[in-house]
Amino acid sequence: MSDLVWSRDGRDWPNRDASTFVEAAGLRWHVQRMGKGPSLLLIHGTGAATHSWRGLMPILAGHFAVLALDLPGHGFTQSPSSQRLSLPGMASDISRLLHTLAAKPEIAVGHSAGAAILARMCLDGKIAPRLLVSLNGAFMPFGGVANHLLSPLAKLLVLNPLVPRLFARQAAAAGAVERLIQNTGSTIDAPGIALYRKLVRSPAHVAAALRMMANWRLEPLLHDLPRLTTSLLLIAAANDRSISPDVTRQVREIAPQAEIELVPGLGHLAHEERPQLIANLIMRYPAQTSRASESAPAL
């Protein structure tokens, strides 16, 4: 078990030829850029990295200039101080990265917690895409007792420097990562499982995910979500065991302009299971939003 090193652990990283490292917001970021056309931004969820887009990104790159990044502390991006691993902190730091890259995404796609980060960025005026796509977006806090226990528990875990190493050691056990993936309701291929195993065996990566959980507050986002004016596509997988499709319907009650696409037979990692299907959904909507804006009456 050791922290990730690009020269060693990045040798077989998906879409490696598209990778580069960029200094911004006091961090060294791992980013991938691919394709030409309108700008499209991809933000992964907690505990993942750019590998999550290994199948989807090349498909989208046939139509867009795609930019993906490892979140702070995740994958090969440097970790910031703990307080920066919060929803507003990451939204701010990613916006500074985009400024450094002169990137102005026309379409923003986020998986799980990545969707919440992008919504926060839209609401704060840090990005102004014409379409925001949520893939099994993590917009709702855990309910009941879990809501009161999860954050304090995560904080206690973060305060113990041994916890990430213990977690990484347990993740190295045979079948551990397979069980984690199974619990999401998804079935992914062996190379995908191997990449997740590489990530969770890194104590630094695990520590960043735990710190992100400890700092996660969705209530301010939910309070502000009715102000969201960006076109919103909510893609929900029917077999998602991590985030119920019911969350999608709750989000539409808050943001009535949202469109819902329910995908049968897939789980939380739907974009890894069926990247072409998800790409088709993403590519269908920009044309619709363009036609809607063209037909809207002038004010």
pLDDT for the residue 216: 86
Contacts of 89 (CB under 8 A, 6+ apart): 80, 83, 215
H helices within the chain, ranges in order? 6-9, 56-60, 87-101, 113-123, 144-159, 162-171, 176-182, 190-200, 203-214, 219-224, 245-254, 270-273, 275-295
pLDDT tens digits along 76-118:
999 999 889 999 999 999 999 999 999 999 999 999 999 999 9
Q: Is the pLDDT of residue 46 over 60?
A: yes
pLDDT tens digits along 229-257:
999 999 999 999 999 999 999 999 999 98
pLDDT for the residue 42: 98
Angle, to 10 degrees, between the axis of helix 144-159 and the axis of helix 203-214? 130
What own/partner pairs with CB < 8 Å and gap ≥ 24 does 276-285 have? 276/55, 276/59, 278/56, 278/135, 278/235, 279/56, 279/59, 279/60, 281/133, 281/233, 281/235, 282/60, 282/107, 282/109, 282/133, 282/233, 283/60, 283/63, 285/131, 285/133, 285/231, 285/233, 285/259
Domain boundaries along the sequence of the chain: 6-295
pLDDT tens digits along 159-209:
555 556 666 666 667 678 888 899 899 999 999 999 999 998 898 998 898
Q: Is the pLDDT of residue 143 over 80?
A: no
Cβ atoms of 143 and 120 within 8 Å: the answer is no
Q: Domain 6-295 - what CATH class?
A: alpha beta
Q: Which of 172, 134, 145, 170 is nearest to 250 (CA)?
A: 134
pLDDT for the residue 245: 93
The reported pTM is: 0.90
User: What is the distance in angstroms between the CA of the first residue and the CA of the last residue of the chain?
Assistant: 60
